[in-house]
Amino acid sequence: MSKKIMIVEDNAQDRKIMKRNLNKNGYDNLIFASSGEEGLAKARSEKPDLIILDINLPKSSGVEVHMTLKNDPATKHIPVLFNTNLLKPGDVYEEMNRFLSKSSSTENLVKAIKTILGR
């Protein structure tokens, strides 16, 4: 059974690109959310193996979503990979979780997923 990955991204074009790139690399068990609230609800109901989380989301920022996930016993174990252009090495959240720039290559995204999921 393939690992379940949830992508929380408000930009429809970015979701489409990530879906295509991840499908090409064998990741086909994908769940999508377009807001922080939707992401939180789906994290609780779908129990993904990994969450790829944008920082700049409507209503609840990715940072707020991350903090809520980590404070919830039902979701605190789920690893989070920030996928954003807002963080850079040395930012405070780098120590909390991994992050990748949206401009990173598909190879870097797949490498980060494999590292986090242990494959």
Residue 19 has pLDDT above 80, yes or no: yes
The CA-atom distances, in angstroms, between 20 and each of 28, 40, 46, 51, 96 are 9, 23, 21, 17, 28
Residue 19 in tokens: 């879906």
The CATH number assigned to the domain holding 52 equals: 3.40.50.2300
CA distance 67 to 21: 28
pLDDT band at 34; cut points 50, 70, 90: very high
Range of the structural domain that residue 99 is part of = 5-117
Q: What percentage of the chain reaches a pLDDT higher than 70?
A: 82
Residue 87 clears pLDDT 60, i.e. is over it: no
Q: How many domains does the chain have?
A: 1
Q: What is the mean pLDDT of residues 61-90?
A: 85
Rounded CA separation 64/115 (Å): 24
Q: Does residue 101 carry a pLDDT above 90?
A: no
pLDDT surpassing 80 at residue 88: no
> What does the pLDDT average to over 8-37?
94
